Amino acid sequence: MTKIVVTGAAGFIGANIVKGLNARGVDEIIAVDDLTQGDKFRNLADLKIADYVDAAAFYPLFAEGAFGKVEAVFHEGACSDTMETDGKYMMENNYTLSCGLFNACQEHGTRLLYASSAATYGGSDTFRETPEFEKPLNVYGWSKLLFDQRMRRELGPDFGRTRNKKKGQVAGFRYFNVYGPREQHKGRMASVAFHQFNQFRAEGKVRLFGEYGGYGAGEQMRDFIYIDDVVAVNLWFFDHPEKSGIFNLGTGRAQPFNDVATAVVSALQPGTPAQGLIEYVPFPEALRGKYQSYTQADLSALRGAGCDHAFADVQSGVAQYMASLAQA
């Protein structure tokens, strides 16, 4: 029976990967997380796993081979707070721990599929998986970039172009703006769609940032990707162990935040024009110089690998999400 590890399993993307594996009938899953924030258990409560291991205990045990033969690790565990300023904490969680996990996977012949981030591009206006476009704006983005760079060094110049049977599969995914069910625990780092659902329910209106970075109010553009699409691509790579590399995971389509707000209003109050129900607030000083006003994934590498998954646009993805939240 195939044994899988999911780190960050009680988090947003990790829990949805567990759900996606369960939908395939896979439940021999070791869920790894830190439940200091106890409410995160809700993300796993309706899912099937074989075991739960605290993150602090897992990594040294895995390095020792304590879990036997593990086919693959979906490594979603990380500090994902882009406003975290404690660089030591960020690097220990996102870089040092990941390096140790990579070494253990290599030792035990375990495939590694890991979470990188579009924050690696930072101030760039081109979002292609090559070094000249990697310009992180915060320590979170740099921590993710440093691990990507480590993988390039470890796996050599053919990483992502040819299969290295000796090294086995290593695939990193640069997530763009992911939204969808099971993100309720994330607080300020939850998606704008999640916050706007709650705002509209409480106040009958939604809020967006005003003018910034040469963009009009609500016109900053991001590549918003629905969680089901993120899971689908992760599982596609799981099905194709010969595919390795670093890949953008977005839709390839930038849309303004105003589109998200309009989709939220349309889903929660059909037939109501969004105009007048969107409130624009001054851009926060704390984010100036650290904010990506535009992102759009270049999907050339993903498509070149053979993954032809069709991604939902904001309108359809947000409608699905609002329906899910309304039923919760």
Name the pTM for this structure. Answer: 0.95
Q: How confident is the model at residue 85 (pLDDT cuts 50, 70, 90)?
A: confident
Do residues 73 and 57 touch, judged by C-beta distance below 8 A? Answer: no
pLDDT recorded at residue 9: 98
Lowest mean pLDDT among 2-6, 66-70, 207-211, 284-288: 284-288
Q: Which of 59, 95, 114, 140 is catalytic?
A: 140
Between residues 106 and 162, which one has the greater pLDDT?
A: 106
> Rounded CA gap, 259 and 252, in Å?
16
Instruction: Please give the C-alpha separations between residue 27 and each of 1, 2, 47, 112, in angstroms, as whole numbers.
Output: 10, 9, 9, 18
The token pair that represents 84 in the structure block = 């975290």
pLDDT at 299 over 90: yes
pLDDT recorded at residue 162: 54
186 noted as active-site residue: yes
Q: How many residues does the chain have?
A: 328
Between residues 80 and 2, which one has the greater pLDDT?
A: 2
Alpha helices of 204-297 — where are they, by DSSP H?
227-239, 257-268
Do residues 156 and 164 touch, judged by C-beta distance below 8 A? Answer: yes
Q: Which of 135, 186, 215, 280 is catalytic?
A: 186
The token pair that represents 92 in the structure block = 């220990």
Q: What is the pLDDT of residues 10-35, one digit of tens each?
A: 999 999 999 999 999 999 999 999 99
243 noted as active-site residue: no
The token pair that represents 60 in the structure block = 């040294």
Alpha carbons within 13 angstroms on the beta-carbon side of residue 157 total 0
Q: How many helices (H) and strands (E) does the chain have?
A: 10, 13
Do residues 20 and 231 touch, judged by C-beta distance below 8 A? Answer: yes
> Rounded CA gap, 167 and 170, in Å?
8
Q: What is the pLDDT of residues 101-158, one digit of tens each?
A: 999 999 999 999 999 999 999 989 999 999 999 999 999 999 999 999 999 999 987 7
pLDDT recorded at residue 84: 85
